[in-house]
Each structure stands twice: as structure tokens, then as C-alpha cells.
């Protein structure tokens, strides 16, 4: 199956117009999103193939590894191609494999932004997303520090991750928010209201875990019969549904394999009928 990212449409973030099918770089780390990948050379090949195939949005975070994902991105791609948008995140502390703790103290966020600039080898981050809202720190203080960093020229655009509509609007009273990254896929639509709100407000919605950590791609997938009818894979169908469901969605499937990367990006050529959209939407 061919790849045609132009068919996915585009969104503009921080002055860069990017295709609506990106790449999530969390998988370029070890088990539990901790430590280096099992195959460092393959991780480099994946990132270089991402760019070769025309993907122009790569999503990462300081906590992936921690730090490993950002470092591999720089090793593979720096100096970065013109037009490539690298989105990173701050606000999660890692204490071990699979362990995540929200920390939104302004001084910590500032430190992590400074370190991401250094690791990625850039003077300004294209998009910095608050990885989680720290319930112990006023949201206005967390977003306010990102706004200060934006004013200083260290961040081009600000986004949020795992927020409600109320939190999004609270943040927008402090700074312009250009993206929201929440867990969302065919079988987990708890953030439907947030997606609809982003659609009305023209805010990019980046659904992470777009194929349910593989649950929508494996044997017995609830989309398997639709995939068979289309001559596609369940993962491709799941991604195609996300792209068709809303014009502001920007799925970021991740992988540590070049073959799997190419398979995911071929979702760009999968067309679902209105009947298939309705059927999948009723899952």
C-alpha cells in the first residue's frame, strides 16, 4: 500500500504547516519508556525514514527515557530539515520504568525547557506541551511560566496534555494554547468533548495511543472485518478513522521498526465509506 501524506490535510502550528499524520517518538526507548532502545541503530533508521517519507511532526518528551528520545532525535536528524516541527513536553518526573509523577513547579518547568533546548540542539522549541497538570501547583502558574519562556523566545508555541475542557479554557486565559494531546482512539473516547471543543476553537488535537497500544492492531481487533474488506491492516483503519473523524486530529503513531512505520503511514491512503465510519463510530 502506498503512502500519501498530502491526502491527510494539514494544520499550522507555530508558523509551520504540517501533515496530519505525525510520528510519536516514545517507542524509541527501552522497556517501560526507560533507558536506551534495544536497537539504537534501528531507532536512528526509523527517524531518518520518518523524514524521508515526508512526516513533518515528531512528538517527544523530556521524560521519554528520560531524555533518551530527545537525544536520539538530535543524533539522527540534526541539523533539522526545514519545515520539521519537533514537539516536546515537560512536567513529568521519572523515578523508574513505568513510573511517572507530575511536577509543574515553575522553576522545574523552566529547567526542563532549558535542558530540552540543549538536548535537541535548538535555540527555540517549536511546541512545548505541559505533559501533565500538577494538582499541587496552580495551573495559572504552570502555564504562566511557559508563557514567560515564550516571551523570552525559548518556546514558539504552547500546548497541553491530558486536560479537560475546563482546564483548557483556564489555561487559555493565561496563554495562547495551540494543541491538546489526550489519550484518544476508537475504543477510548473519554476525551470526545475535548476534541469537539478543540474543533470549534481551531486547536490541534493530538490523540496519543491512537491504536490503543496495539490493542486495535492485533488479532481479534474490533476493526478487523473492516480492514479485511479494505485490504488494509486494523492499525491503518484505526488511524484512518481518526483522520476522518475530525479535521483537527493529528495522530502520532509510534514504533521502533521501519517496517511498522511504513505500515502505519500507509493509513494515509485508506478511505472509509460513510457506512464504515458510522459502524466504527458505534464501537
* Residue-averaged pLDDT of the chain: 96
For residue 64, indicate whether it is catalytic: yes
Kindly state the DSSP code that residue 76 receives in the 8-state scheme: H
Please tell me what DSSP assigns to residue 78.
P
Share of the chain above pLDDT 70, in %: 99
pLDDT value for 217? 79
**Three-state SS at 267:** helix
Q: Cell for 212?
A: 490503543
pLDDT at 213: 75
Stretch 104-111: mean pLDDT, rounded?
A: 98
Whether the predicted pLDDT of 229 surpasses 90: yes
Which is catalytic among the residues 64, 80, 184, 208? Answer: 64
Sort 237 into a burial class: Cβ within 10 Å, 0-12 / 13-18 / 19+. buried
What's residue 19's pLDDT? 98
Alpha helices per DSSP H over the chain: 40-52, 68-77, 106-120, 139-151, 165-172, 192-201, 224-230, 234-245, 258-265, 274-281
Q: What is the pLDDT of residue 116?
A: 98
Q: pLDDT of 38-82, one tens digit each?
A: 999 999 999 999 999 999 999 999 999 999 999 999 999 999 999
pLDDT at 1: 66
Q: How far is Cα 10 from Cα 234, in angstroms, rounded to an integer? A: 24
Amino acid at each position: 500500500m502506498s503512502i500519501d501524506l498530502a491526502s491527510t490535510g494539514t494544520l499550522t502550528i507555530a508558523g509551520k504547516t504540517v501533515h496530519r499524520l505525525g510520528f510519536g517518538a516514545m517507542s524509541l526507548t527501552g522497556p517501560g519508556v526507560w533507558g536506551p532502545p534495544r536497537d539504537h541503530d534501528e531507532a536512528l533508521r526509523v527517524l531518518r525514514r520518518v523524514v524521508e517519507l515526508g512526516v513533518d511532526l515528531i512528538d517527544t518528551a523530556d521524560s521519554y527515557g528520560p531524555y533518551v528520545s530527545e537525544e536520539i532525535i538530535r543524533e539522527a536528524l540534526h541539523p533539522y530539515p526545514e519545515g520539521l516541527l519537533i514537539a516536546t513536553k515537560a512536567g513529568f518526573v521519572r523515578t523508574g520504568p513505568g513510573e511517572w509523577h507530575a511536577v509543574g513547579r515553575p522553576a522545574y518547568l523552566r529547567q526542563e525547557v532549558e535542558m530540552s533546548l540543549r538536548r535537541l540542539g535548538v535555540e527555540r522549541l517549536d511546541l512545548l506541551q505541559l505533559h501533565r497538570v500538577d494538582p499541587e501547583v496552580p495551573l495559572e502558574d504552570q502555564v504562566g511560566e511557559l508563557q514567560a519562556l515564550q516571551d523570552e523566545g525559548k518556546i514558539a508555541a504552547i500546548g497541553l496534555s491530558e486536560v479537560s475542557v475546563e482546564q483548557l479554557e483556564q489555561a487559555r486565559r493565561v496563554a495562547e494554547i495551540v494543541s491538546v494531546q489526550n489519550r484518544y482512539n476508537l475504543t477510548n473516547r473519554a476525551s470526545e468533548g475535548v476534541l469537539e471543543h478543540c474543533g470549534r476553537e481551531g486547536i490541534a488535537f493530538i490523540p496519543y495511543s491512537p491504536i490503543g497500544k496495539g490493542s486495535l492492531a492485533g488479532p481479534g481487533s474490533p476493526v478487523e472485518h473492516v480492514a479485511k474488506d479494505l485490504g488494509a491492516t486494523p492499525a491503518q483503519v484505526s488511524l484512518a478513522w481518526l483522520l476522518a473523524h475530525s479535521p483537527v486530529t493529528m495522530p502520532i503513531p509510534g514504533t521502533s521498526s521501519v517496517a511498522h512505520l511504513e505500515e502505519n503511514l500507509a493509513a494515509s491512503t485508506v478511505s472509509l465509506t460513510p457506512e464504515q465510519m458510522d459502524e466504527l463510530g458505534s464501537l
